[in-house]
Structure 1
Amino acid sequence: MSTAHGMRATLTAFAQPAALTLFFFGFSSGLPFLLIGYTLSGWLKLDHVSLDDIGLISYIGLTYSLKFLWSPAVDRIRLPLLRRLGQRRSWLLLAQCILAMALLGMAQVTPHAQLSLFLLITGVAAFAGATQDTVIDAYRIEIAPPEMQGALASTYIFGYRVALIASGAGALVLAQYAGWSEAYRIMAALLLVPIATTLLAREPVERRARAANWRAALDDGVIGPFRQFFERFGANLALLLLAFILLFKISDQMLGPVALPFYLDAGFKLVQVAEVSKLYGVIVGLVGAFAGGAAVLRWGAERCMPWALVAAALSNLLFLLLTWHHGSMPLFVVMISGDNFSTGLLGTVAVAFLSDLTDHRYTATQYALFSSLTVVSGKLIGGLSGFIVGTVGFSGFFIFSCLATLPALVVWFWVRPRLLQHHAAN
């Protein structure tokens, strides 16, 4: 591919109408992620919840890892009152409305005084967020051909990262000056924009045949996606792929519960964290996401994957800088730059890679399974992060998080040649 032709192809991919839609859908997906994770951990810490409990509470995020359990319903069940919107948009609108109400509910409850109720409402928000992720992933895969998925992944992540600015830097600044409850009310109001996008967006062409009866629906909707995946790749390669998907984002995911408490312990104020980590850092992450999208369009997701993995793992070692130099703003900027660029790069490569593995007949269920597996290992370890830090300290934890990528790299070098053989045979 010539440079000029490659540039034209890249611009064409980013200029398609679906790219703008995916930007707003990415914003909708990204908004709750920090509000039930990173930002929430800051609220809990300042509300005198212990670090051990904060780590355990982060297990609410495992809802995202379990979304494949109800993804067949998202693929197959038509919502009676919303069916005229189509399968994808009807489910998306329902999930977005429930999410907005749950965020408003969190704003009405004080964590330390009503912790059980607060966690229940947070769980509803996580369930709604995970459901909308399932729908949006299916929408993205169905709305454009495979060669455009790299561009759609980039614009989706662009929107996602803008939402991280709002729910990270924006929420922290609002909490500093207006209080946590007001911050969460404003976050709920921001969902009005993606809700309007859902109402105006084009529904993808439905490629799934409707089952004749409930037995056929159960077989096709629940068993079919898994059977098709193993038949398509063969048992050995399918298992290797699932093992890789389970492992490759561990180092990134496990930092979540302790990152903000670490910044606060390192001597930074909420406003400083907002400015550097959740404003400047997210912008750097956008650069990484677009770099990943351009790389995928030029070289393909599989060739980019090992380099993105290594970059993400090494970026965790930058956290050691703040363990040695507490309160150093220049080193904080360096650390955030490396971490967010590599995370954005890996995120785009991962989305394109997982999309390539998905069959259009089972987009919601298969992609939900893949994306669930990407977070489950890191979330499980992340939930114990408070105990790990208490045992080995922050320095030992960050080194461990870097080394946690090694199993994924080992599996990748088993998977890659077998994938090449599979592509050649098909």
Structure 2
Amino acid sequence: MVEAAADDTVVTKKAKPGWGTLLRSLRNPKSGFMLLFGFAQGLPPALFLGTLYAWLSEAEVDLETMGVFSLVGLAYAFQFLWSPLLDKVDIPGLRRLGKRKQWIAPMQLIIGIALVVMAGLDPKSALATFSLLAAIGAFASATQDIGINAWRIDVADEVATLDILSTITQMGFRLASLVGGAFGLIMADRYGWPFVYVLFGGFMLAIGFAALFAPDARVSGDRAANAAVADAEVAELYNVGEVTEKVRNRALLAVGVLWTWAIGTVVVFMVRSMTAAPENRPDVTEFTTFYGPLIVLATIVLPAFIAAWVVKQQREGRHVIVAAPGVGAGHGVKFTDHLYRALVQPLTEFVGRMGWSLMLILALVLTYRITDSVWGVFAYPFYLGELGFTGEDVAFASKILGIIAILLGLAIGGWMITKLGRMFMLTFGAVIAAATNLLYADLAVGGARMQAASDAIGFTALVNGMAGWLQPLFFVAAPPSEGLARLAFTIFWENLAIGIAGAAYIAWLSSIVAKRYAATQFALLASLTLLIGTLGRGALGQMIEERGYYYVFIFTALIGVVAVVLCALEWAREARAGRRSGVVQPDPYAGEAVAAE
């Protein structure tokens, strides 16, 4: 396995596998900043999309009005629409902070300010201002996510490795979800919602201040110098062998129309939702379910085919520049050139580098998380309706023990990556993620095996003891349900598998993008992860009604086998790519690099 250097050239590195690599990574300051950034990524969604509804309910805001607040989720769902800005646009006055920090730190400060100001408002009497602040905070949160994902890829090195940084960011994210979710509710009961939002707003302001000291790729504060660099990059489009301006403009027009439609669709929907009467207000879930896949198709899938056409023209020598006129001789730097560099070039770079392997990459991205993402919306109906557990049982098993399991899985996964390699863990993660669906299948028919296994290893006693100890903390008077142990046992092992698989998946996804286009390429690929779940939920709901949960879990486990096969093929592809580039080792931790003969 090889990694891209800062200039996108392929390099090898020597690294001692195991605890030595892990400890060196954790001692690096980049790891500490990564934990802070991961926490900053996980906290706002919990506050803007989760606990916020509890505050609104307590303030007696009606359900129809609450529906407007679900619009803030669109910022996270479609954040890739403005991801090209973070790759190609510098913020005046903030350029000196660094390429990524100029976006990250201000967004974190905006989130913190929004939370603190929201704490001073009454949601019912100042609903318009309250909802506007929530929307601003969510947009800033989604924007910092783009920047942080790109920052992780940019700063990774042989000490603070990409694999370890990817694991740490997931741990910070999950920890923030626990703090902002379960603990946020506890503190709100004791101290009130204004206290909670001031406290968490202070956290975000502190992280935003700390971000100023994080390492990053430097960007000159000289406007003329930055313009010259951008113009020089654009001038590369006119080199001999590049496609002609006519071909570029055709590709840009097609991609531009698709992106304009996608952005316009989202904007029109948001305007309708905020201005229409409650009875005529469109449903966010229906919009995301129907238009979400179409928007992804318009901004990712179809542009990828357009990019492939451009790459094909260039490789076949058709419609290419045969004599460069030189900078300023017959061609100036045009606005369309900058647009092409922002919208189309990240795709042509990716398609040109991957070739036909891109089909394998996309298939793996679409299927890797399918076993848990496709049925996630049916989890609570399964726990509460089908199995009859109480809300307290589910909160303990999924929100407390489940988060602990994910954090443990991430820690185990991060260490195992350093020992066994990224691609081995990616494949292993797909195996265990698929296998845990069989645990749910047993739970769906009574959970006798889950109960027996829980009793055998002492898990039942542990769960009952923890639930009893946490009762006063959560103000729960009822004792744990009789079947809580088998529910917690199943959720624990599934979330442990999700943590292990998630560490490997984010590391792999980060490794296949080019640093030059990290923000755009990562955001586009990450959006595809959710696509298959959105597409499949309708059919899955119908299957649940017709066949029941047991058959659905067997079916999703079989689908997971597809991801396992694709992981094996991707492992083989990367090993071949390493050998072709003159590197024998298939993974940076599998041993020292040796030049191929």
TM-score by length of 1: 0.81
Q: Shift of the alpha carbon at 1:190?
A: 3.3
Q: Distance in 1 between matches of 2:501 and 2:337?
A: 38
Structural mapping, 1:59-138, within 5 Å: 61=73, 63-100=75-112, 124-138=136-150
**Number of corresponding residues:** 418
Equivalent in the alignment of 1:243: 363
Residue type of the alignment partner of 2:97:
L
Deviation per residue, 1:277-305 (Å, 9 max, x gap): 33332222222112211222223221221
**2:372 is the alignment partner of 1:252:** yes
Q: Are the equivalent residues in 1 in contact too, given 2:79–2:523 (CA < 8 A)?
A: yes
Which stretch shifts more, 275-284 or 65-74? 275-284
Q: Which runs of 5+ in 1 are unaligned?
A: none
Structural mapping, 1:265-304, within 5 Å: 265=385, 266-270=388-392, 272-304=393-425
Q: Distance in 2 between matches of 1:42 and 1:297?
A: 41
Deviation per residue, 1:243-294 (Å, 9 max, x gap): 2112211222234434356545543334x54544333322222221122112
CA gap of 1:125–1:319, structure 2 versus 1, over 3 A, is farther
Q: How large is the Cα RMSD of the aligned pairs?
A: 4.0
Deviation per residue, 1:371-410 (Å, 9 max, x gap): 2222232245458877776665555554454444244334
Q: Are the equivalent residues in 1 in contact too, given 2:167–2:507 (CA < 8 A)?
A: no
Q: Distance in 2 between matches of 1:45 and 1:399?
A: 38
Q: Distance in 1 between matches of 2:433 and 2:524?
A: 23
Q: Distance in 2 between matches of 1:394 and 1:122?
A: 37
- Of the three residues 432, 437, 442, the one matched with 1:311 is 432
Q: Are the equivalent residues in 2 in contact too, given 1:267–1:327 (CA < 8 A)?
A: no
Q: Distance in 2 between matches of 1:258 and 1:301?
A: 31
**2:285 is the alignment partner of 1:164:** no
Q: Are the equivalent residues in 1 in contact too, given 2:61–2:123 (CA < 8 A)?
A: no
Q: Shift of the alpha carbon at 1:86?
A: 2.4
Deviation per residue, 1:346-390 (Å, 9 max, x gap): 111011111210112111111112222222322454588777766
Q: Which runs of 5+ in 2 are unaligned?
A: 1-14, 221-225, 232-332, 448-480, 582-597
Q: Distance in 2 between matches of 1:398 and 1:423?
A: 37
SS at match of 1:87: coil
Which stretch shifts more, 391-400 or 407-416? 391-400
Q: Shift of the alpha carbon at 1:415?
A: 3.5
Which stretch shifts more, 114-123 or 301-310? 114-123
Q: Are the equivalent residues in 2 in contact too, given 1:24–1:193 (CA < 8 A)?
A: no
Q: Distance in 2 between matches of 1:317 and 1:114?
A: 49
Q: Distance in 1 between matches of 2:534 and 2:525?
A: 15
Q: Are the equivalent residues in 2 in contact too, given 1:58–1:383 (CA < 8 A)?
A: no
Which stretch shifts more, 126-135 or 412-421? 412-421
CA gap of 1:418–1:380, structure 2 versus 1, over 3 A, is same
SS at match of 2:389: coil
Which stretch shifts more, 119-128 or 308-317? 119-128
Equivalent in the alignment of 2:20: 8
Residue type of the alignment partner of 2:181:
G
Structural mapping, 1:1-400, within 5 Å: 6-35=18-47, 61=73, 63-100=75-112, 124-145=136-157, 148-174=161-187, 186-205=199-218, 210-212=229-231, 213=333, 214-234=335-355, 236-260=356-380, 262-265=382-385, 266-270=388-392, 272-320=393-441, 323=444, 324=446, 328-381=483-536, 394-395=549-550, 397-400=552-555
CA gap of 1:408–1:66, structure 2 versus 1, over 3 A, is farther
Q: Are the equivalent residues in 1 in contact too, given 2:98–2:218 (CA < 8 A)?
A: no
**Greater gyration radius:** 2
Residue type of the alignment partner of 2:36:
F
Q: Distance in 2 between matches of 1:367 and 1:421?
A: 23
Which stretch shifts more, 117-126 or 7-16? 117-126
SS at match of 2:230: coil
Equivalent in the alignment of 1:409: 564
CA gap of 1:116–1:196, structure 2 versus 1, over 3 A, is closer
Q: Distance in 2 between matches of 1:60 and 1:393?
A: 33
Deviation per residue, 1:114-166 (Å, 9 max, x gap): 99998877665543332211111111111122671112122222212211221
CA gap of 1:261–1:5, structure 2 versus 1, over 3 A, is closer
Residue type of the alignment partner of 1:267:
F
Which stretch shifts more, 346-355 or 188-197? 188-197
- The answer to which structure, 1 or 2, has the higher relative contact order (CA under 8 A, 6+ apart) is 1
Q: Shift of the alpha carbon at 1:342?
A: 0.9
Q: Shift of the alpha carbon at 1:229?
A: 1.0
Which stretch shifts more, 120-129 or 193-202? 120-129
Identity %: 32
CA gap of 1:192–1:139, structure 2 versus 1, over 3 A, is same
Which stretch shifts more, 237-246 or 253-262? 253-262
Residue type of the alignment partner of 1:291:
I
Q: Distance in 1 between matches of 2:439 and 2:192?
A: 32
Residue type of the alignment partner of 2:390:
F
Q: Distance in 2 between matches of 1:261 and 1:106?
A: 32
